[in-house]
């Protein structure tokens, strides 16, 4: 959090109080009438996925903000999550923040190390020094993966970057019904279960209201900065069933027709500039009319889940807005609503029903699994993401999507709402703006200069510029004249209404054959668009204006040198994919605890021989519950006691489930329970159970992946995760777990490509 500046005592100290003059250092005082500031950051929401930007998704609360504020139609992001968020909070470009990519794909170069320097101060630190209360709620994704756990260093957690309260999830994505939660500086379990009606977005809205209410109960005149970041619309597209079912049949017409209808609304609303064309369907997006009946039914259901997720999120944001209005705070609250990048194509061509994604399987197997899961989509058993046809449609009328630097990846909604400070209502602004401009704009409106030092550290200049002048004047000059882009090898340079852009395929990406991932970057073909007149990049003018294109490309290299963009790297597996701190260990001892152990720091049992041993006390009458579980959704393992017997289950994300059950009952008193896996080949082995050293349920075949299973839970809270259909969560162990040990042998087998694929899917 922002630290108070030390000041020398300015009173007088005599022999006693009669000859002394007391002095108190002045507390920071916000100027009277200063507004509250709220950033509402959506995730993977495309240009056309809010009602006020042309969508037919029901988003009445975002729409009311737009109707009483401003919509910016030329707002840009970095095309990826962590990088954009670093820009929003610091006013500096993402590579200058060390955030050239997401925190789980770092490399040992200044632009890519995932460590935002102290010289890039956060807005929370800047306004905190001025007396603002500062709250962060929801997705963070700005802490290096190796520190995003209870034993991690807190230097890059929210509370050490200027926020006084935090509630949310530190990573890039989480299960919306069974989330990994952090409260201030420690992990906590969700307060309720899915069966009890829990959903993360509702919880986040509750906490935002609680934080503000707690402030205003005692310091009614103190303004606040709230950084409110939902999981929507990032995978998993989870929502209460009634919100999803409200859209049943609404997308049966398919993504092409939906896109045409949305574009027509955008034209009528003035969201797109006059003369904008609807970009063509790329060849890798399927023709809806050529799909089978099963594919259409499935793909429409995927989109129903996304739509329900978005409408449910809108409702929770509405609860926050209603609270502010009831408290008389909404009128003087400066609200920015943005998304962090374009709609996501990470569901691939067929969509995904589970966290496993493709995992090396062919299209027929994925389609069959998705169809088998159709009734579970959007619920706790799924981890679903829609097919990329809906991502393409979600960015209407633009080309491409998240992770790429064409307009579909970088152009996003931005709503600004401040009734007391903005007279205009429902108007549109077309000035070019970027994520780095929000912090300078807030400082400008508060009458603050960027501080030369923060917490004793000299600050680098802000890279963004204020667009506050456009609030009152739709014709205000565009101040953001030049902006570079780079994401995983894709590059672009905007300057004064023109844009040079090149697509460079990421390693392992096969849908666009126009780019060879292994080709040298110097051989990339650059395109040129006059985006002031061709908003959707339909007309490549590279051949017509070669000199202009050359000048823009040269300028890109200048910007790259200025902001730590080099070296370029399009590999899925970045240069320094870190080894696990546990890789060299062969024995692990765990004790019951409430917080999960991130997989990066937990014992790695994947596809290697190992033994799990639990020392327990069974009370008279018996006990049951989970001893240890390492699971995400329906993938991973669980070692548990039920009906007086010992059990082990390994779930291969629904593709295969291996179960072993003891033959004998577990006695009362002190007991040693064990499971042993003996690897016999790749992803295969045999499992055996024992009670007090005696075999009990041996020789069963077990299939085991070499990809992630999620955080490890040991003891009491292990019962809130599980992969067995034989028990209902939470299934906490009712006996006493004294100690659990895991012995591993054999080579650590890491599927680096799969690990990074999952990191990308959760960014």
CA distances for 219 relative to 24, 29, 128, 215, angstroms? 20, 12, 15, 6
264-296 b/e with 16+ CB inside 10 Å = b? ebbbebebbbeebebbebeeebbebeebeeebb
Contact call for residues 69 and 415 (beta carbons, < 8 A) = yes
Q: Is the pLDDT of residue 680 over 50?
A: yes
Of the pLDDT bands very low, low, confident and very high (cuts 50, 70, 90), residue 608 is confident
pLDDT confidence of residue 656? 62
User: Under a CB-based contact definition with an 8 Å cutoff, are residues 155 and 123 in contact?
Assistant: no
**Which residue from 149, 150, 170, 146 is spatially nearest to 158, judged by alpha carbons?**
170
In sequence order, what are the residues at sequence separation of 6 or more whose Cβ sits closer than 8 angstroms to the Cβ of residue 96? 111, 120, 460, 463, 563, 564
What are the CA-CA distances from residue 16 to residues 22, 23, 24, 652 (Å)?
Answer: 11, 15, 18, 76
User: What is the distance between the terminal CA atoms of the chain, rounded to a whole angstrom?
Assistant: 25
Does residue 677 contact residue 609 with C-beta atoms inside 8 Å? Answer: yes
pLDDT digit string, tens, across residues 159-186: 999 999 999 999 999 999 989 899 999 9
Contacts with 93 (C-beta within 8 Å, 6 or more apart), sequence order: 87, 436, 463, 484, 563
pLDDT tier for residue 602 given thresholds of 50, 70 and 90: confident
Instruction: Find all residues with CB under 8 Å of 153, minimum gap 6, and list them.
Output: 147
**What region, left, alpha or beta, does residue 329 occupy, with left being phi > 0 and alpha being psi -120 to 50 degrees?**
alpha
Q: Is residue 749 scored above 70 in pLDDT? A: no
Among 2-6, 116-120, 635-639, top mean pLDDT goes to: 116-120
| Cα angle value 33/34/38 (rounded, 5°) | 130
The dihedrals phi and psi of 245, each to the nearest 5 degrees, come to -65, -20
- Choose the weakest-confidence range: 91-100, 365-374, 438-447, 703-712: 703-712
Q: Using omega within 30 degrees of 0 as the cis cutoff, is the peptide bond preceding 291 cis?
A: no
Q: Quick one: average pLDDT of 143-154?
A: 84
d(CA 368, CA 634): 17
200, containing H or E segment = helix 200-218
What number of other Cβ atoms are within 10 A of residue 643's Cβ? 12
The whole-number pLDDT of residue 533 equals 97
Q: What is the pLDDT of residues 175-221, one digit of tens each?
A: 999 898 999 999 898 999 899 999 999 999 999 999 999 999 999 99
Cα 379 to Cα 301: distance, rounded to the nearest angstrom: 12
Taking phi over 0 as left and psi of -120 to 50 as alpha, with beta for the rest, 256 belongs to alpha
Half-sphere exposure of 357 (CA within 13 A, CB side): 22
Query: What does the pLDDT look like over 445-489, one tens digit per residue?
Result: 999 999 999 999 999 999 999 999 999 999 999 999 999 999 999
Please determine, for residue 760, whether its predicted confidence score (pLDDT) is greater than 70: no
- Three-class SS of residue 704? coil
Tell me, what's the pLDDT at 717? Answer: 64
Give the residue-averaged pLDDT of 419-437.
Answer: 98
Give yes or no for a contact between 649 and 638, defined as CB atoms under 8 angstroms apart: yes
Fold of 496-562: Arylsulfatase, C-terminal domain (3.30.1120)
Name the band, by pLDDT with cuts 50, 70 and 90, for residue 403: very high
Quote the crossing angle between the two packed helices 293-326 and 60-67, to the nearest 10°.
50
| Cα–Cα dist 365/734, whole Å | 40
What span, in angstroms and rounded, lies between the C-alpha atoms of 160 and 427? 38
CA distance 207 to 227: 12
Q: What is the CA angle 151-155-157, rounded to 5?
A: 75
Identify the DSSP state of 28.
P
In this structure, what DSSP letter does residue 709 have? -
What separation in angstroms does the CA of 12 have from each of 8, 23, 24, 146, 223? 12, 8, 12, 49, 34
- CA Rg value for the chain: 27
Decide which of 308 and 580 is more confident: 308
For position 232, what pLDDT does the model report? 96
Q: Are 450 and 459 in contact (CB under 8 A)?
A: yes
521 pLDDT exceeds 50? Answer: yes
Residue of 624, 595, 621 lying closest to 735 (CA atoms) = 624
> Domain 36-471 - what CATH class?
alpha beta
What lies within 8 Å, CB to CB, of 623 at 6+ separation is 616, 641, 733, 734, 735
**What is the pLDDT confidence band of residue 575, given thresholds at 50, 70 and 90?**
very low
Residue 364 belongs to what H/E stretch? helix 363-372
Q: Is 496-562's fold the same as 587-747's?
A: no
Q: Tell me: pLDDT of 519 over 80.
A: yes
In this structure, are residues 651 and 356 in contact, taking their beta carbons and an 8 Å threshold?
no
What letter does residue 665 receive in the DSSP assignment?
Answer: P
Residues 250-309 pLDDT 10s: 999 999 999 999 999 999 999 999 999 999 999 999 999 999 999 999 999 999 999 999
Run of H or E residues at 628: strand 625-632
In sequence order, what are the beta bridge partners of 484?
493
Run of H or E residues at 678: strand 669-681
What distance in Å separates the CA atoms of residue 172 and residue 156, rounded to the nearest whole number? 15
pLDDT digits (tens, 9 = 90+) for 714-735: 765 666 666 777 888 788 899 9
Q: Over pLDDT 90: what percentage of the chain? A: 75
Question: Buried (b) or exposed (e) across 700-721, using 16+ Cβ within 10 A?
Answer: eebebbbbbbbbbbbbbbbbbb
Delimit the domains of the chain by residue range. 36-471, 496-562, 587-747
Nearest CA to 673 among 661, 689, 697? Answer: 689
Classified by CATH at the fold level, domain 587-747 comes out as Jelly Rolls (2.60.120)
CB 500 within 8 A of CB 528: yes
Contact at 8 Å (CB) between 655 and 669? no
């Amino acid at each position: 959090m922002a630290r108070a500046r030390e000041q020398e005592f300015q009173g007088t100290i005599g022999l006693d109080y009669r000859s002394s003059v007391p002095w108190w250092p002045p507390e920071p005082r916000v100027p009277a009438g200063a507004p509250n500031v709220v950033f509402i950051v959506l995730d993977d929401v495309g240009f056309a996925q809010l009602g006020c930007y042309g969508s037919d998704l029901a988003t009445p609360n975002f729409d009311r903000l737009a109707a009483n504020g401003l919509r910016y139609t030329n707002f840009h992001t970095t095309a990826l999550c962590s990088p954009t968020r670093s820009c929003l909070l610091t006013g500096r470009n993402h590579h200058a923040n060390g955030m050239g990519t997401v925190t789980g794909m770092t490399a040992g170069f200044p632009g890519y190390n995932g460590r935002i320097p102290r010289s890039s101060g956060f807005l929370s630190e800047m306004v905190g020094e001025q007396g603002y209360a500062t709250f962060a709620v929801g997705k963070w994704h700005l802490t290096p993966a190796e520190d995003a756990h209870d034993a991690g260093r807190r230097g890059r957690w929210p509370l050490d970057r200027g926020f006084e309260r935090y509630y949310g999830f530190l990573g890039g994505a989480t299960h919306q019904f069974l989330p990994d939660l952090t409260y201030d500086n420690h992990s906590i379990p969700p307060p309720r279960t899915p069966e009890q009606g829990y959903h993360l977005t509702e919880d986040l809205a509750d906490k935002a209201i609680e934080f503000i209410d707690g402030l205003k109960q005692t310091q009614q005149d103190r303004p606040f900065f709230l950084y409110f970041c939902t999981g929507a619309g990032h995978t998993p597209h989870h929502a209460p069933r009634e919100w999803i079912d409200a859209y049943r049949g609404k997308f049966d017409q398919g993504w092409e027709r939906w896109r045409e209808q949305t574009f027509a609304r955008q034209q009528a609303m003035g969201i797109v500039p006059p003369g904008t064309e609807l970009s063509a369907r790329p060849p890798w997006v399927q023709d809806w009319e050529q799909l089978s009946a099963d594919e259409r039914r499935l793909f429409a259901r995927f989109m129903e889940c996304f739509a329900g997720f978005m409408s449910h999120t809108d409702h929770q944001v509405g609860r926050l807005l209603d609270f502010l209005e009831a408290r008389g705070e909404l009128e003087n609250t400066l609200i920015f609503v943005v998304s962090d990048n374009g709609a996501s194509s990470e569901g691939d061509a067929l969509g995904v029903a589970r966290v496993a994604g493709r995992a090396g399987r062919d299209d027929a197997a994925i389609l069959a699994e998705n169809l088998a899961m159709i009734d579970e989509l959007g619920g706790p058993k799924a981890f679903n993401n829609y097919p990329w046809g809906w991502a393409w449609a979600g960015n209407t009328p633009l080309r491409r999507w998240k992770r790429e630097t064409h307009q579909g990846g970088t152009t996003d909604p931005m709503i600004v709402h401040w009734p007391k400070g903005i007279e205009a209502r429902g108007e549109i602004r077309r000035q070019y703006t970027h994520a780095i401009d929000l912090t300078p704009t807030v400082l400008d409106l508060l009458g603050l200069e960027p501080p030369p030092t923060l917490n004793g550290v000299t600050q680098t200049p802000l890279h963004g510029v204020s667009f506050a002048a456009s609030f009152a004047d739709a014709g205000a000059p565009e101040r953001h004249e030049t902006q570079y882009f780079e994401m995983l090898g894709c590059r672009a340079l905007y300057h004064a209404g023109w844009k040079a852009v090149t697509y460079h395929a990421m390693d392992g990406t096969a849908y666009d054959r126009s780019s060879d991932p292994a080709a040298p970057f110097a051989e990339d073909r650059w395109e040129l668009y006059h985006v002031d007149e061709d908003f959707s990049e339909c007309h490549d003018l590279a051949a017509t204006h070669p000199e202009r294109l050359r000048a823009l490309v040269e300028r890109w290299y200048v910007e790259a040198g200025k902001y730590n963009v080099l070296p370029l790297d399009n590999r899925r597996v970045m240069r320094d994919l870190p080894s696990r701190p546990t890789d060299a260990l062969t024995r692990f001892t765990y004790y019951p605890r409430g917080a999960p152990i991130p997989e990066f720091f937990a014992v790695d049992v994947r596809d290697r021989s190992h033994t799990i041993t639990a020392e327990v006390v069974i009370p008279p009458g018996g006990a049951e519950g989970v001893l240890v579980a390492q699971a995400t959704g329906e993938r991973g393992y669980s070692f548990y006691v039920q009906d007086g017997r010992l059990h082990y289950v390994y779930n291969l994300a629904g593709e295969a489930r291996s179960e072993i059950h003891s033959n004998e009952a577990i006695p009362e008193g002190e007991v040693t329970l064990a499971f042993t896996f003996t690897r016999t080949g790749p992803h295969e082995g045999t499992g055996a159970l024992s009670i007090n050293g005696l075999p009990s349920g041996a020789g069963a075949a077990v299939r085991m992946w070499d990809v992630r299973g999620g955080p490890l839970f040991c003891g009491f809270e292990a019962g809130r995760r599980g992969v067995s259909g034989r028990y209902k969560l939470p299934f906490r162990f009712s006996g006493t777990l004294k100690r659990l040990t895991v012995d591993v042998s054999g080579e650590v087998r890491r599927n680096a490509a799969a690990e990074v694929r999952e990191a990308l899917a959760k960014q």
